[in-house]
């Protein structure tokens, strides 16, 4: 028959207390490490502002028949993107636009020399369309340098003059 008498607290062995404490602290450390790992994990996918900028520029500077080339580029802060495209000699129109925020801008150079200071293109939420007329011998060169505080989206299209 069971003893239903008064309950007396059982004393634990000091080694057992140390073991329980060690396991409890290990569990707390594991949970804290997992929380830190998940909180510091890199974001996946593209920034929603970049996606919105790509969509806005695709509407503003669409691909057209007869274009030599067109491209949308994400330009990081302070970086330079260069493009070389073979093109038959003649007159061309370079159409550019840039999406960003605030006072962001990019500088577009059409010369491979450092004498050309370039044309400043503003990178704003509602980007203006900028057209540059140029004459080419056999190769188109363009350098785009970001002067923005953040990432910008830049789109360009090269077409022969008079084809639009």
Reported as a pLDDT band with limits 50, 70 and 90, residue 141 is: very high
One-letter-per-residue 3-state SS of 35-62? HHHHHCCCCCCCCHHHHHHHHHHHHHCC
Q: What is the SS3 assignment for 2?
A: coil
Over the stretch 61-110, which tens digit does the pLDDT of each residue have? Answer: 999 998 999 999 999 998 999 999 999 999 999 999 999 887 889 999 98
pLDDT for res 2: 63
Question: What's the whole-model pTM score?
Answer: 0.71
What are 111's two structure tokens? 């010369």
Residues paired with residue 153 on neighbouring β-strands, in sequence order: 74, 99
Q: What is the pLDDT of residue 149?
A: 87
Token pair 């004393």 in the structure block, residue: 11
Q: What is the DSSP letter of 33?
A: H
- Could you give the CA distance from residue 123 to residue 83 in angstroms, rounded to a whole number? 19
pLDDT value of position 28? 95
- At 154 the pLDDT is 96
pLDDT tens for 113-129 read 766 678 899 999 889 99
Is 66 strand, coil or helix?
A: coil
């Amino acid at each position: 028959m069971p003893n239903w008498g008064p309950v007396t607290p059982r004393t634990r062995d000091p080694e057992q207390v140390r073991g329980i404490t060690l396991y409890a602290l290990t569990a707390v450390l594991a949970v804290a490490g997992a929380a830190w790992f998940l909180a510091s994990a890199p974001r996946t996918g593209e920034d929603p502002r970049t996606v919105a900028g790509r969509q806005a520029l695709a509407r503003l500077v669409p691909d057209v028949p007869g274009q030599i080339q067109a491209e949308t580029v994400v330009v990081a802060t302070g970086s330079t993107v260069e493009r070389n495209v073979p093109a038959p000699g003649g007159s061309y129109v370079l159409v550019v636009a840039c999406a960003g925020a605030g006072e962001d801008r990019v500088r577009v150079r059409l010369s491979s020399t450092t004498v050309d200071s370039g044309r400043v293109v503003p990178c704003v939420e509602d980007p203006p369309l900028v057209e540059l007329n140029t004459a080419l011998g056999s190769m188109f060169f363009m350098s785009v340098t970001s002067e923005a505080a953040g990432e910008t989206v830049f789109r360009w299209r090269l077409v022969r003059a008079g084809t639009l």
